[in-house]
Amino acid sequence: MSLPPHALTGVLLAGGRGLRMDGRDKGLVAVAGRPMAAWVLERLSPQVERVLISANRNGPAYAAFGHPVVGDAITGHAGPLAGLSAALAHTDTPWVITCPCDCPRPPQDLVARLEAARRRTGAPAAVAHDGTRLQPLFALLASALHPDLQEHLRRGGRRAGDWFLAQGAVVADFSDHPRAFDNINTEADRRRLEAVLRDPPASATDLSQMPREDPPAIRQGPSPTHPRA
């Protein structure tokens, strides 16, 4: 039985500093005529009951997307886990799913596949693997893990992949859609993905189903690719 949407809160992680984009707020950067956050929300919202946006600046701009905005309780830009912790403090659903704001086209079946992987083992969390590396900011987790996350942050822990695996998270295979996890860290990344979104190849109109240029080779262990959007 699939996890029903009413059991889920989606968390858009948009609290980063955008250092590789000259400090721009990446969730609000336009790609193919729309803010990056809008692309992600279009895919995430139908899969969940409600959405929370984790953001530490430009609150009114994010609120305009129609979802509550929460800021980190920890000062100093403590990373995506701090944003997740802030969101967990404001949710009343038993499960939460996270997406970073700088991946414009997350899988439309993200929840279903993460939940299927989690359910097979009874794990309290599941994280995506794109066939090459772990993608720990695409994660499904039990809200009951919040106290453990708070303690991890209190001790100075910051790496999302390390924390999820320490919780016994199961890895969900998304190697058939590796391009769904392409993220935008630089202006060159933005231009490249904008070209794809404006004029997708006839054989792959959905970015999440486009093959990666380099063949995936499984690499073990957490290798986060999203320094906080």
Per the annotation, does 14 bind a ligand?
Answer: yes
Q: pLDDT confidence of 209, banded at 50, 70, 90?
A: very low
Domain boundaries, the chain: 7-209
Residue 205 pLDDT more than 70? no
Sheet holding 50-54, edge to edge: 69-70, 50-54, 8-13, 95-100, 134-142, 125-129, 170-173
Separation of alpha carbons 185 and 24, rounded Å = 10
Q: What is the pLDDT of residue 58?
A: 94
Q: What is the pLDDT of residue 22?
A: 73
Q: Measured between alpha carbons, how far apart are the two ends of the chain, in Å?
A: 33
Phi, psi of 134 (to 5 degrees): -70, 145
Per the annotation, does 122 bind a ligand?
Answer: no
Separation of alpha carbons 112 and 3, rounded Å = 7
Of 217, 208, 189, the closest CA to residue 110 belongs to 208
59-92 pLDDT tens trace: 999 999 999 999 998 877 778 999 999 999 999 9
Q: What is the pTM of this model?
A: 0.84
Query: Within 13 Å, how many C-alpha atoms sit on residue 59's CB side?
Result: 6
| Per-position DSSP letters for 123-170, written without gaps between them | -SEEEEE-SSSEEEEEEEEEGGGHHHHHHHHHTT---HHHHHHHTTPE
Do the Cβ atoms of 94 and 7 come closer than 8 Å? yes
Instruction: Please state which CATH number belongs to domain 7-209.
Output: 3.90.550.10
Which range (50-59, 101-110, 191-200) has the least confidence? 191-200
Do the Cβ atoms of 48 and 8 come closer than 8 Å? yes
Per the annotation, does 26 bind a ligand?
Answer: yes
Per the annotation, does 116 bind a ligand?
Answer: no
113-139 pLDDT tens trace: 999 999 999 999 999 999 999 999 999
Q: pLDDT confidence of 200, banded at 50, 70, 90?
A: low
Q: What is the pLDDT of residue 19?
A: 62
Of 125, 129, 122, 101, the closest CA to residue 44 belongs to 101
Per the annotation, does 72 bind a ligand?
Answer: yes
151-195 pLDDT tens trace: 999 999 989 999 999 999 999 999 999 889 988 888 999 998 888
Per the annotation, does 87 bind a ligand?
Answer: no
Q: What is the pLDDT of residue 207?
A: 45
